[in-house]
Structure 1
């Protein structure tokens, strides 16, 4: 993201995507770990840039955590999202993955498990736990919900976001 690319239109678009993440996350709080926010961030890292995805992620986490609870775990969420966005943006650019939506969907689902693993590592050190693996294994059902939500939202929202990103950011 160069300085010249961060114009008023792009800032407005990123603000709207942040709002979509916030509304999406808050709308699905009744389902643990199921939300469209992760899929939207994955789209941003794929179609725009990793720095823009990280910016929207940081804004979305701060705003949503003001509603659902803000504490040290927000740092764990930030670091976990950073990890999955780095991995996804790297792997999604591989020609085989980039060419096949179903592989991207599987990768998006896998990011739910990676997020849970990274978040468990953060909590392990934060709370000074003596054993990691049982703690992480207990969280796998929630990671599976996150993975399933990512898969469904990614496949459902892909055509919408592909069209939006192409319309607003591809030079004709």
Structure 2
């Protein structure tokens, strides 16, 4: 008699199951967070870390798609640079314990830290004075950040290849980078508002950026 563990799902089935698991995780964490007392910054940080780490691992079969870029943009916008750097480091180091470490780990930490810094700098452009997230602006920044992140991490190839190799390497990986950017659009539309609202419930200080970026969108 065959048990459930003997069933082979195939690539498509595995992806569907993984996405479903991630969606259930998000729903469960959101419902759990709603029961917690507001104003606890560590709660917001911990939840973002859990979502980022598990999201990278569970969605690993999907090429270059993860919620981390959008999460760190929002974390930087709400909690500032220091907390964004901490989250970027924790998410990358912990998830790479499963996905694999290498020189790219350092580049991923720095790249996602810069994403968090961008979120902090653009905080008053992404989030208005009432704490409401502008989802269209998050989508624009998330899309651009997908390319910026991948291009920065691609610099790691220069440890083993000459600099002349970089340009064709970036061109060859354009579609891969585009997938990351498009994935960020989906995560921004799906998670942007609920994650922003969750983070807003767990901080009691002003947004870090002091000047609004010109309203281009």
* TM-score over 0.5 for the pair: yes
Q: Alpha-carbon deviation of 1:37?
A: 1.6
SS at match of 1:169: coil
Q: Is the 8 A contact 1:113 1:147 kept in 2?
A: yes
Deviation at 1:15, TM superposition (A): 2.3
> Which has more radius of gyration?
2
Q: Please identify runs of 4+ aligned residues in structure 1 that moved more than 4 A.
A: none
Aligned residues: 161
Q: Encode CA deviations 1:43-81: one digit per residue, 9 max, x unaligned.
A: 101111121111111011111100010122101111221
Q: Deviations over 1:61-120 (max 9, x none)?
A: 1111000101221011112212333334324544xx545421221111110001111112
- Cα 1:10–1:167, aligned 2, differ >3 Å: closer, same or farther? closer
Structure 2 gap ranges (5+): 1-39, 129-133, 206-217
Q: Any unmatched runs of 5+ in structure 1? A: 1-8
The structure with the largest helix share of the pair is: 1
Change in Cα spacing, 1:63 to 1:153, as seen in structure 2 (3 Å) is: same
CA RMSD of aligned residues (A): 2.1
Which of residues 158, 167, 175 is equivalent to 1:133?
167
Distance 1:53 1:130 in 2: 31
Are residues 1:29 and 2:60 paired? yes
Are 1:116 and 2:147 counterparts?
no
| TM superposition score normalised by structure 2 | 0.67
